[in-house]
Structure 1
Amino acid sequence: MLIFLVIEMLTLDLTFLMLSIGGLAGLGSDLLGAPLWLQVILAAAVAAVLLLALRPPLLKRLHRSSDSSPSNVDALLGLEGRVLATVSTFAGQVKLANGDIWTARSDGRGEIEPGTPVRVARIDGATAYVRPRPEELPE
C-alpha cells in the first residue's frame, strides 16, 4: 500500500491511489480474521470498483479547472495589429494588439501600407503572416 501511495504521489493519476485503497480493504478483512483467498478477492474487487466507478469522475473534476485558453503562437493567431513598415510578400513590420512588434509578410494579397489594420493569419518562426482586416479590404 505504501509503495502504491508513493507511486501515486509521483504520477498524480489516481490509479495507484485506488489500488492502495483496495489493499487497505484487504488489510481490514485480515484484521477481521478473513482467510487469505477472501482478502485477495476483496482487495481486487474494491480496487476494481474504485478504478471503474470513482476514478473517472474524480479525474474529470480535477481537470475541470484546467486553463484551456490558447498560449504561445496559438494565442497570436487572429490577433489584430497595425502595419508599421510596408508589408509585402518579402518584408514588413507590424505592431500587434498585445504590444509586440513582429517582422511580417503579406499572406499573398499584395502590399499593405503603414497604418493599415491587419489580422495575423499564421506564424512561421519569427515572422507573422498578416492580411488586412476584412472590414478594411478594398472592394
Structure 2
Amino acid sequence: MTITEWVQALVWIALVLVLGVVEVFTLDFIFIMLAAGAAGGLIAALIGAPWWLSAIIAAVLALVLLGLVRPRVLQALGRNADPHRTGVEGLVGMPGTVAVAFTSSAPGQVRLANGETWSARIDAAAPERAPALGTHVVVESIEGSTAVVRIQQKAAP
C-alpha cells in the first residue's frame, strides 16, 4: 500500500468512527447508515479502488441503506412500543369519584381509578350541576394541574 492509500483508508476509518459517535448521541438511525456507507468506501479503498470510486460506493451504499433498511428498522422497533397512553394523556377517559365536593366558585377534588387525587372542575360544556361527594365522574381533559370532569352516565339496563 502506498502512502496515498493509507491516508485514504485512515480518512474512511475516521469518518466511520465520527459518524458512529454522532449516531450514539442522536439515535435516529441516519448516521449509522452513513457510517455503514463509509465502511463500504473503506473496504473499496482497501481493495485498491481509486478515491472517487470509493466515494461513489460509499454514497450509493449509504443511500440504499437509508432508503431500504432504515424504514424497516424503525418499523420493527415501533412494533414493540407500548400502545397504552401514559402521563397526562393516560388520565383522559379515566373514571373517578368526587373526593371534595365542587362549588360554583371553587373546584373540588376527584380520586381517580389509579389512586391519584386531582383538583377538578366540571366541564363547562356539560349542562350538569356541580357533583356531590361520591359522584362518579370521568376525566375529559387535563388543564394544568386540574382535571376537567363530567358526571358519568349510568348504563341503561
TM-score by length of 1: 0.84
SS in structure 1 at match of 2:110? strand
Quick one: structure 1 residues 85 and 22, their matched pair in 2 at CA, closer, same or farther if it must change by over 3 Å? closer
Equivalent in 112, 115, 127 of residue 134 of structure 2: 115
Instruction: Please say if residues 83 and 114 of structure 1, whose CA atoms lie closer than 8 Å, have aligned partners that are also in contact.
Output: yes
Instruction: Please say if residues 22 and 46 of structure 1, whose CA atoms lie closer than 8 Å, have aligned partners that are also in contact.
Output: yes
Q: Which moved more, 1:43-52 or 1:87-96?
A: 87-96
SS in structure 1 at match of 2:134? coil
Is 1:97 equivalent to 2:113 in the alignment?
Answer: yes
Q: Which moved more, 1:94-103 or 1:47-56?
A: 94-103
Following superposition, the deviation at residue 62 of structure 1 comes to 2.1
CA RMSD across the alignment: 2.1
Q: Distance in 1 between matches of 2:28 and 2:146?
A: 39
Identity %: 42
Following superposition, the deviation at residue 97 of structure 1 comes to 1.1
Instruction: Please say if residues 89 and 106 of structure 1, whose CA atoms lie closer than 8 Å, have aligned partners that are also in contact.
Output: no
Aligned residues: 137
Instruction: Please say if residues 21 and 46 of structure 1, whose CA atoms lie closer than 8 Å, have aligned partners that are also in contact.
Output: yes
Is 1:60 equivalent to 2:75 in the alignment?
Answer: yes
Aligned to 2:57: 42
Equivalent in 28, 31, 37 of residue 16 of structure 1: 31
Q: Distance in 2 between matches of 1:32 and 1:111?
A: 80
Please list every run of 5 or more consecutive structure 1 residues that lacks an aligned counterpart in the other structure: none
Q: Distance in 1 between matches of 2:33 and 2:143?
A: 45
Quick one: structure 1 residues 101 and 33, their matched pair in 2 at CA, closer, same or farther if it must change by over 3 Å? closer
Following superposition, the deviation at residue 57 of structure 1 comes to 0.5
Aligned to 1:125: 144
Q: Distance in 1 between matches of 2:24 and 2:50?
A: 31
Is 1:87 equivalent to 2:102 in the alignment?
Answer: yes
Quick one: structure 1 residues 17 and 125, their matched pair in 2 at CA, closer, same or farther if it must change by over 3 Å? closer
